[in-house]
Structure 1
Amino acid sequence: MMPQPGAAGHSTPSQPPAAPLSEATHAAPPIATSAAPSSAVAPPPGVPGTPALHQSSHSMPTQYVADGPQALRKPMGFKPSRDEAWRPAEPENLLQGNINESILEAIVYRSLLNIGECQGRDIAENVKVPFRMLEPLLARLKMEQNIAYKSATATNDYVYILTESGRKIARNHNNDCTYAGSCPVVLSDYVKSVRYQTIEGQFPKKDNLLRAFHDLLINPKILNRLGPAVASGRGMFLFGFPGNGKTSIAERVTSAFGKHVWIPRAIDVDGEIMRVFDPMNHELDMPEDSSGLLDEAGYDKRWVRILRPTIIAGGELTLEMLEVMSNRETNISESPLQLKSNCGTLVIDDFGRQKMRVDELLNRWIVPLEKRYDFLNMSSGKKIQVPFDQLVIFSTNLEPKDLVDDAFLRRIPYKIEIENPPEKDFRKLFEIMCRVIKVPYNQDAIDYLIENHYKPINRPFRNCQPRDLLLQVKNFCLYNGLEVELRNDYLDFAVENYFSVM
């Protein structure tokens, strides 16, 4: 599939550590949400439609809707939509935010150890906790003589430094773990957030797919097969000859769903820190913050809003990348690819050519693909259950039946062959790509190319060839100082280069 022109290819009670997820007595904490519109994911069963209101003098107003014994909070000004079905509300205290005060205190110590000195509001910004919630903790550490005031500021704040006893405590914390970023979100909060932003309940329609593929030329027959597969939110095989746009299609599928999801910067798994937000794989798209000292944005800064993720793993994929990766020196864990792609799309490109054996990948995912949850092993030895909520696309040049057995194929319900384009579409691609690459279109030269270099030897058309041949022509002209144009002899040169070993 070739792009068309114009396409553009984050007093206060304390709380003990959270109980393990598997414990039936562990109640889910208050977390922001709302009942999504009919086009978005539906709220969990038992959420009534009549809200009660609550006004806080410290933060944005919040709205509560019942959810069993707990309450689900959302910023009053937030309006759910298909593009953003859920937003985490800013907690009013540590207990309401389900924040482990011991972990927060350790992060504050490590932050001051790294920075040396810092204003209170800057510490709050680093740990992503409202300053009004951090002030009692800083006051207690000051009373314990583990931190001290270096100076006061004009904003009724102080510059904090560690005392000698504080530095000793901070070094002990640093030896245990070097994490000094955002205060983590408890695992149960993350699990609940995926439930409200799931990709499986959106059911994109034909118009959504046409918008997602607006810069590709796709045969209507293929589009009709892709539609139900994407709408299912489950998984699919894209197979066919190389160069026909399997990867291009897979990269664009996510935009058929809602635009934004919220993910935590890091997760607290019973005191163990696992990072989720990854700038290499996630694209930030945060809502605008209000200006001034009083932040009225109304959302929990421990979370980040990103574009619904599309993560692509090719031949470099290994079994280790699908497990929690723990750094023994820092004692910080990194979440696996499938967790980072939750509520989005995970593309296994060039399936069958990975460093890991195909059967290893199949054995690892055969249960998650069907049950929609996965189990991960933490470095502490704890096993946790996490959502497996993404559209998994296996893209391959090989026949799926030659790669996997029937048991696995059954769990990937859609197998879609991306076929070679017909001559009409092939010619249309030349018109499109001439505008993109800025080569004047010449119908006679295209006729010459097809009649002399394709039909006589039954050379198959591929969607990538118009772009590749036109680039050869353009580079040939630029190198030789010639006017960029489509001529028969230029196309002869391009074909000889391009197909010399094909």
Structure 2
Amino acid sequence: MSNTADALSTEKPQTESGRPIETQFAQLAAQPKPKYDGFLPPEPKALEDTGLTLTEVEALILKQLLTTGSCIGRKIADQIKLPFGILQEALRSLKAQMLLNYKGQATVGDFEYELSEEGDKRARFHLERCTYCGAAPVPLKDYIAGIERQSVRKSRPRLPDLCAAFSDLMLPPAIISQIGQAIHAGKAMFVFGQPGNGKTSIAERVIRSINNYVWIPRTMTISGEIIRLFDPASHEEAPPLAGGALLDTVHFDRRWVRIKRPSIIVGGELRMEQLEVIFNPATGILESPVQLKANCGALVVDDFGRQRMGAAELLNRWIVPLEKGYDYLSLPSGRQVQVPFDQLLIFSTNLPPKSLVDEAFLRRIPYKIEVNDPAPREFRDLLKLCCQKAGIEFRDDAFEHLLTKHYAESGRPMRYCHPRDLIEQVRTFCEFHDLPLVLTAKGLDVAVKNYFAGLNET
């Protein structure tokens, strides 16, 4: 076991003031958290506020009616996510061009609309150019302004926030401090060490230390090209609340959607094309790359070094974004646009960083956090905690048997994942044989035999 691991487990890490980190954690946890000045996209009052042209809005209306048939104006506004007052201008324009007909009277000031013969032709013309007919897109400049207001790089989590985020993991205070410094600086980090010590679990929880929610556009437009940003597979929608009630009566731009700060994980399946804008033939629009979806959140490159592309190739792609905070995306039209690169980029790997990339690359990832094996005391505490969660009575003699026979004598390294996995097997053994839920040497022997069979743990 490394000297670093012994130091983390036997010494009390000190702050510059000389106080133990645990003491500082406890004192700061008692302080009230600062209020977050949230971002709420303002509702557009006029067409000019949307950043869209009348032609763009008219095209969305025509395609919507082609898809749904006749529809009242307010329902069209709800589908396109624009205020009905703004939509009325476009509806009047379409009626004047004889592209729409009144099918019937709806509520006061509203009608049921249907396409005319010429309107049907115009709608199909727009559909051939782009099949998208959902929420109206948000211009790139408004998206950039929203990201700047909600930037994860400007977040300043405190020690209590980090402790709360990692409360379900038994991490040495020194590691929590390292992670906190990286988040505070808004810099990329390498989390490395032996498999089974919770690197992925750490990376997944990093974003929890920052305020929970952000707003992103459902779609974005760049010179008439529509890019989908909100992805239910990557983002978790969170309906906006005010005083515990839904913001049904509060005016905000409904082209935006409130989500939990994203934490997107990509692994060995990551390909270079996922880092670029791609055309989705199923939806007829452009799909944003993973780093754009991760803006204002965290992007975790898990199992780094085992991707389908080389490690140097991946980092080459992100040299400018890492240093400048913005990225360049190439659109299918050939145009290149500058977009924010505002995320905590986390590389998690079982391999030594220096074996993956050279020193020049490593300098661009300033925070390197090594997750070492647990010390015997930490291993015992974690095993005891897992017993409590599983409803199993913990016994010191059984733990000493496990430590001596299955770790010390065999030279097997301890990993943070072992207590959880072994206790799960012990519980299964006891339940299957109708035995009391008690930690015993026999139960642990069976668990070790099941768990480590075929593994080269040396």
TM-score by length of 2: 0.87
Q: Which of 466, 474, 480 lines up with 2:427 in the alignment? A: 474
Q: Which amino acid aligns with 1:315?
A: G
Aligned: 1:427 with 2:380: yes
Of 477-486 and 318-327, deviating more is: 477-486
Work out the CA distance in 1 between the residues paired with 2:376 and 2:108: 70
1:411 aligns with 2:364: yes
Inter-partner Cα distance in structure 2 for 1:284 and 1:242: 32
2:204 matched residue in structure 1: 251
Post-superposition offset of 1:237: 0.3
* SS at 1:139 equivalent: helix
Matched, 1:181 2:134: yes
Shift of 1:159: 2.3
Shift of 1:230: 1.9
Query: Is residue 274 from structure 1 mapped to residue 231 from structure 2 by the alignment?
Result: no
Name the residue aligned to 1:372.
Answer: 325
Structure 2 CA distance, aligned partners of 1:163 and 1:277? 33
Deviation at 1:436, TM superposition (A): 2.4
**Cα contact 1:239–1:396 (8 A) shared by 2:** yes
Higher mean Cα deviation, 350-359 or 196-205?
196-205
Aligned equivalents of 2:248, 2:407: Cα separation in 1 = 64
1:136 counterpart (84, 89, 93)? 89
Are 1:84 and 1:258, in contact at CA under 8 Å, matched by a contact in 2? Answer: no
- The answer for the alignment partner of 2:400 in structure 1 is 447
Q: Is the 8 A contact 2:39 2:150 kept in 1?
A: yes
Aligned residue in 2 for 1:208: 161
Given that residues 179 and 330 in structure 1 are in contact (C-alpha distance below 8 angstroms), is that contact kept between their aligned partners in structure 2? yes
Residue 416 (structure 2) aligns with: 463
Structure 1 residues 433 and 495: CA distance shift in structure 2, 3 A: same
Residues 130, 114 of structure 1: alpha-carbon distance in 2 compared, 3 angstrom cutoff: same
2: CA distance, partners of 1:181 / 1:339: 20
Corresponding letter in the other structure for 2:235 = H
Tell me the distance in 1 between the aligned counterparts of 2:233 and 2:436. Answer: 41
Matching residue of 1:398: 351
Counterpart residue identity of residue 466, structure 1: P
Change (3 A) 1:247 1:84: farther
1:148 to 89, 94, 101: 101
SS of equivalent to 1:217: coil
Residues 1:117 and 1:438: Cα distance change in structure 2 (over 3 Å): farther
More helix by share: 2
Deviation at 1:164, TM superposition (A): 1.9
Spell out the pairing of 1:15-414 with structure 2 (5 A cutoff).
83-154=36-107, 156-288=109-241, 296-328=249-281, 330-414=283-367
Q: Gaps (5+ residues) in structure 1? A: 1-80
Instruction: Say which SS state the counterpart of residue 95 (structure 1) adopts.
Output: helix
After the TM superposition, which of the residue ranges 406-415 and 354-363 deviates more from structure 2?
A: 354-363
What are the Cα deviations for residues 252-285 of structure 1, in whole angstroms up to 9, with x where unaligned?
1112122221111111100000011111111111
Instruction: Measure, in 1, the Cα distance between the counterparts of 2:46 and 2:278.
Output: 32
Supply the AA of the counterpart residue of 1:214: S
- Work out the CA distance in 1 between the residues paired with 2:152 and 2:36: 11
Moved more, 200-209 or 150-159: 150-159
CA deviations over 1:407-459 (Å, ceiling 9, x no partner): 11011001110011111111111122123233333333222211221111222
Q: Secondary structure of the residue that 1:96 maps to in structure 2?
A: helix
Task: Tell me if the contact between 2:41 and 2:253 (Cα under 8 Å) persists in the aligned partners.
Answer: yes
* Contact 1:289–1:295 (8 Å) recurs in 2: no
SS at match of 2:144: helix
**Which stretch shifts more, 401-410 or 81-90?**
81-90
Q: Report how far residue 329 of structure 1 moved.
A: 6.3
Change (3 A) 1:447 1:381: same
Residues 341 and 206 (structure 1), Cα distance of their counterparts in 2 relative to 1, 3 Å cut:
same
Q: Decide whether the 8 Å contact of 1:358 with 1:404 is kept in 2.
A: yes
Shift of 1:153: 2.8
The question of 1:436 aligning with 2:389 is answered yes
Q: What is the rounded CA distance, in whole Å, between the counterparts of 2:332 and 2:281 in structure 1?
A: 9
Question: In 1, distance between residues paired with 2:189 and 2:392?
Answer: 37
Residue 223 of structure 1: CA displacement?
Answer: 1.7
Counterpart Cα distance in 2 of 1:101 and 1:480: 73
TM-score of the pair, normalised by structure 1: 0.80
Q: Measure the CA separation in 2 of the matches of 1:97 and 1:141.
A: 19
For 1:178 and 1:423, the matched residues in 2 are separated by 61
Q: Deviation of residue 484 (structure 1)?
A: 3.9
Aligned CA RMSD, in angstroms, stands at 1.9
Residues 272 and 82 of structure 1: is their aligned pair in 2 closer, same or farther, counting only changes over 3 Å? farther
Maintained 8 Å contact 1:240/1:417: yes
Using the TM superposition, give the Cα deviation of residue 474 of structure 1 relative to its aligned residue in structure 2, in angstroms: 2.1
- Check the 8 A contact 2:57/2:90 in 1, yes or no: no
User: In structure 1, what is the Cα distance between the partners aligned to 2:158 and 2:248?
Assistant: 38
| Aligned residue in 1 for 2:30 | none
SS in 2 for 1:200: helix
Distance 1:100-1:401 versus aligned 2 partners, 3 A rule: same
- Unmatched segments (≥5 aa) in structure 2: 1-33
